[in-house]
Amino acid sequence: MVRMDLTPYVDLLRRDLSSAAEVGGDQGREAARTLLVALEPAARLALMEAVAQAAAEISSELPAGSVEVRLAGRDLDFVVDAPPTVPEPPAAPAPPGPPGRPTTAPWRASRCACPSRSRSAPKTSPETPASR
């Protein structure tokens, strides 16, 4: 949650109005003071409405989730509701090599993993036609 203090924005408006009232002398300054007392709540409300409208527009552009603005005393709280991120699927295995040509690593692994094969030539028994 992120908090936004509206006071600096209202103070800026107050300073600008006070500076503009200096041109009017004592009567202008007194009128500005009176206006500022009534204007502060209206300025805060206008700022809140502008920020809430911006949050609604941001939410409408999000593919999922939302941005909410909540009043917390004289400040605003922003609450971002985003769906949990989905972990990326594991990478696909490497494509096999060209046909008829096994890749080196799997061929060696299968050759070593098979205990029934031996490196020497197969022996023939006397009953086989090869021995005659």
Q: Are the CB atoms for 101 and 25 separated by under 8 Å?
A: no
pTM of the entire predicted model: 0.53
Q: Are strands 66-72 and 2-5 parallel, antiparallel or unpaired?
A: unpaired
Q: Residue range 77-86: average pLDDT?
A: 83
Widest pairwise Cα distance in the chain: 131
DSSP-assigned letter for residue 34: H
Q: How far apart are CA 19 and CA 14, in angstroms?
A: 9
Instruction: Give the pLDDT score at 116.
Output: 52
Q: Please, what sign has the CA dihedral across residues 107, 110, 113, 119?
A: negative
Long-range contacts of 103-110, Cβ-Cβ distance < 8 Å, separation of 24 or more: none
The mean pLDDT of the chain is 78
Query: What is the H or E stretch that residue 50 is in?
Result: helix 25-61
Q: Where are the beta strands (DSSP E) in the chain?
A: 2-5, 66-72, 75-81
Distances, alpha carbon 68 to alpha carbons 4, 12, 48, 118, in Å? 13, 25, 12, 71
Instruction: Give the pLDDT score at 126.
Output: 54
Residue 122 has pLDDT above 90, yes or no: no
Q: What is the pLDDT of residues 27-69, one digit of tens each?
A: 888 888 888 888 888 998 999 999 999 999 999 988 888 999 9
Instruction: Give the pLDDT score at 52.
Output: 92
Q: What is the pLDDT of residues 109-118, one digit of tens each?
A: 445 455 555 4
Residue 7 has pLDDT above 60, yes or no: yes
Instruction: Give the pLDDT score at 132.
Output: 47
pLDDT band at residue 102 using 50, 70 and 90 as cut-offs: low
